[in-house]
Amino acid sequence: MVKNILFFISIFIFSITAQYASTIFVSPNGKNNSIAKAIQMAQSRDKIVIKPGKYFENAIVIDKPLDIEGELYPILDGNNKEGVFIVKSDSVTIKGLQIQNIGMSQIDDRAGIKFFSVKNCLVENNKLINTCFGIYFARSSDCVIRNNFVQGFATRETETGNAIHLFKCTNFLIENNTVSGHRDGIYFEFVENTKVCGNTSFKQIRYGMHFMFSHENEYSKNKFFNNGAGVAVMYSHHIYMHENEFTDNWSPVSNGLLLKDIKDSKIENNFIDRNTIGLFAEGCLRLEVKHNRFSKNGWALKVLGDCYDNNFTDNNFISNTFEVVTNATVSNNIFEHNYWTEYSGYDLNNDGIGDVPHSPVKLYTYLIERVPESIVLLRSLFIDLLNLAEKVAPVITPESLEDHKPAMKAIK
Interval 117-151: pLDDT, tens: 999 999 999 999 999 999 999 999 999 999 999 99
Lowest mean pLDDT of 12-21, 87-96, 236-245, name the range: 12-21
DSSP symbol at 186: E
Q: What share of the chain is helix, strand, coil (3-state, %, to 5)?
A: 15, 45, 45
**Which pLDDT band, with edges at 50, 70 and 90, does 106 fall under?**
confident
Cα 227 to Cα 258: distance, rounded to the nearest angstrom = 13
What is the pLDDT averaged over residues 383-393?
Answer: 51
Kind and range of the H or E run holding 172: strand 164-175
Kind and range of the H or E run holding 386: helix 381-392
What is the pLDDT averaged over residues 30-47?
Answer: 95
Cα 232 to Cα 255: distance, rounded to the nearest angstrom = 8
Q: Judge whether 408 and 341 are in contact, CB under 8 Å.
A: no
Cα 412 to Cα 409: distance, rounded to the nearest angstrom = 9
Q: Judge whether 282 and 263 are in contact, CB under 8 Å.
A: no
**Which pLDDT band, with edges at 50, 70 and 90, does 158 fall under?**
confident
pLDDT of residue 397: 53
Domains of the chain in sequence order = 21-228 (2.160.20.10)
pLDDT of residue 327: 81
What are the residues facing 308 on neighbouring strands? 285
Question: Which whole-number Å values give the CA distances from 177 to 135, 311, 333, in the listed order?
Answer: 11, 32, 36
DSSP symbol at 42: P
Q: Judge whether 338 and 362 are in contact, CB under 8 Å.
A: no
pLDDT of residue 366: 56
pLDDT of residue 372: 59
**Which pLDDT band, with edges at 50, 70 and 90, does 6 fall under?**
very low
Q: pTM to 2 decimals?
A: 0.88
Considering the chain, what is the average pLDDT of its residues?
89
Residues 319, 323, 324: CA angle, nearest 5 degrees: 170
Which one is predicted more confidently, 211 or 9?
211
pLDDT of residue 103: 85
pLDDT of residue 188: 98
pLDDT of residue 364: 55
